[in-house]
Structure 1
């Protein structure tokens, strides 16, 4: 894949599922409680497609946000995606994403 094609795949995924902040509140008519939907929830909803982009199409991952909560939870979501969609064990998933970081394919811009 060239960068143009890779960018198009990423933009298509973003357009379909993510808002600019990847956060929304939904109200339940039955109990009037709010259910928060965070980026890690949306990632897991698209796990098959994301795994294909990451594993087969060599996609790059950029995580930007709060290091204590959001970045940690998103990182765990990627481990779960590798386990569920890629058939890896937890240890293999951790190693897989560590290699992506080493190769510059998983980058974080986080703050505390």
Structure 2
């Protein structure tokens, strides 16, 4: 439940060594910066209607939530559907590196892109 000194120095040293030796990447922050730059430089277009909240009376009349596909109902918990506003379709913000766990993320992204093409 609680850990204090002097015992805490052991787990703190292990955590510091792990982080120091782990593969480093700036891919996530680069993606966030790219998205923020876009949002700040442009009038933000509307979210696609099928992603908009449909949990209120009258939402269907506005086209909200119609045609939404729940990713967890599909293989690999991925479904090909538009998530970005129309002007941003096709843009990629996150570009995983080839180090550490990002190798696996890269392989997964390649797999789902191939599924989209078929």
TM-score, shorter chain, exceeding 0.5: no
Flag the structure with higher helix content.
1
Flag the structure with higher strand content.
1
Query: Please, what TM-score do these two structures have when normalized by structure 1?
Result: 0.29
Structure number with bigger Rg: 2
